[in-house]
Amino acid sequence: MNYYNYKITCDTALIEMLIAMFTTMPFEAYQELEDGFHAYIAEKDYSDETDAALATFQKSFDFSFEKEFVPYKNWNEEWEKNFEPVVVGDFCGIRADFHPPFENIVHDLVINPKMAFGTGHHETTHMMVEVMQNFDFKDKKVLDFGCGTGILAILASKIHANPIDAVDIEVESYENTIENAERNEVFNIKTYQGSLEVIKDSDYDIILANINRNVILEYLPSLYNKVKKGGWIAFSGFLKADENLLLENAKKAGFEWQSSKQRGKWICQLYQK
């Protein structure tokens, strides 16, 4: 998939606020810099309204932006420049194959990514893995919603979840999850390409949703129907500024809040049905 990269220049104090505003539009990933940040939007989601919205923001906030078209063929290079290993204690390490193997790690996962990358990935993935470490996944039915590279589904398999479904709207993510599962010798993940509607099954014990604010808000009622009574769902991929918004809407959908984690500017919330 092709993307547009918006290169935002602003004062450091404005970065978090502006990113929170950008999340109201279909931007998918962010990379923070010393003098601003990069925001990525898929070509299919881009329109003249995107630039018009940013021009409106500029009336209230002092920032400038440049837009660069990034064809799909460049994404692997972008990943290699930005992908950092994720290490959660001695429980799990997640690395690309160009990183050296971990030592003294129970689960050493090798992920070769093939899609856009934002710095939020490290923080949100770390928190989701922390949540997973504290659950008994043995023989649990799991859904990885917005599976991306398949990291969470693969880890769920390694800690004895079964069966496991994984879904992502992007065909690159669908293909990448299949490839990475094979790379890690995991063969019990059913992978789907599409939105949540392509998942016909329900009664999941655990749902893992490391995605983004807008998608979570849109699918909260459907996710509630997918998880069994007493089951758990973990959300991440949204900023501290949106914590209360997610909390209010999750409760409205019927979920009971259990706990929250924060890493950097990113939040992870755990709910039970």
Q: What is the pLDDT of residue 79?
A: 61
In a domain, 97, yes or no: no
In a domain, 186, yes or no: yes
Nearest to 148 by CA among 124, 247, 241: 124
**Which of 55, 70, 85 is the C-terminal boundary of a domain?**
70
What contacts 96, CB < 8 A, 6 or more positions away? Answer: 79, 80, 83, 85, 110, 111, 112, 113
Instruction: Give the CA dihedral 147, 96, 82, 157, nearest 10 degrees.
Output: 20
In a domain, 42, yes or no: yes
The answer to whether the beta carbons of residues 176 and 114 sit under 8 Å apart is yes
Q: What is the pLDDT of residue 54?
A: 95
Please check whether residues 151 and 215 belong to one and the same domain: yes
Please check whether residues 233 and 176 belong to one and the same domain: yes
In a domain, 91, yes or no: no
Please check whether residues 142 and 232 belong to one and the same domain: yes
What CATH number is given to the structural domain containing 233? 3.40.50.150
Please check whether residues 28 and 140 belong to one and the same domain: no
Q: What is the pLDDT of residue 236?
A: 94
Q: Domain of residue 216: give its range.
A: 118-272
User: Beta 266-272 vs 227-239: how paired, if at all?
Assistant: antiparallel
Cα separation, 241 vs 69, whole angstroms: 29
Domain count, the chain: 2
In a domain, 197, yes or no: yes
Q: What is the pLDDT of residue 173?
A: 86
Cα separation, 148 vs 146, whole angstroms: 6
Please check whether residues 157 and 44 belong to one and the same domain: no
Q: What is the pLDDT of residue 31?
A: 80
**Which of 32, 47, 70 is the C-terminal boundary of a domain?**
70
One pLDDT digit (tens) per residue for the chain, 273 residues: 788 999 999 998 888 889 888 988 999 888 888 899 999 898 999 999 999 999 999 999 999 999 999 887 666 666 666 677 889 999 999 998 888 999 999 999 998 876 544 444 678 999 999 999 999 999 999 999 999 889 999 999 999 999 999 999 888 889 989 999 999 999 999 999 999 999 999 999 999 999 888 899 999 999 999 999 999 999 998 888 889 999 999 999 999 999 999 998 889 999 999
In a domain, 87, yes or no: no
Cα separation, 1 vs 79, whole angstroms: 14
Tell me the whole-structure pTM to 2 decimals: 0.81
Please check whether residues 157 and 239 belong to one and the same domain: yes
The answer to whether the beta carbons of residues 81 and 72 sit under 8 Å apart is no
Please check whether residues 195 and 268 belong to one and the same domain: yes
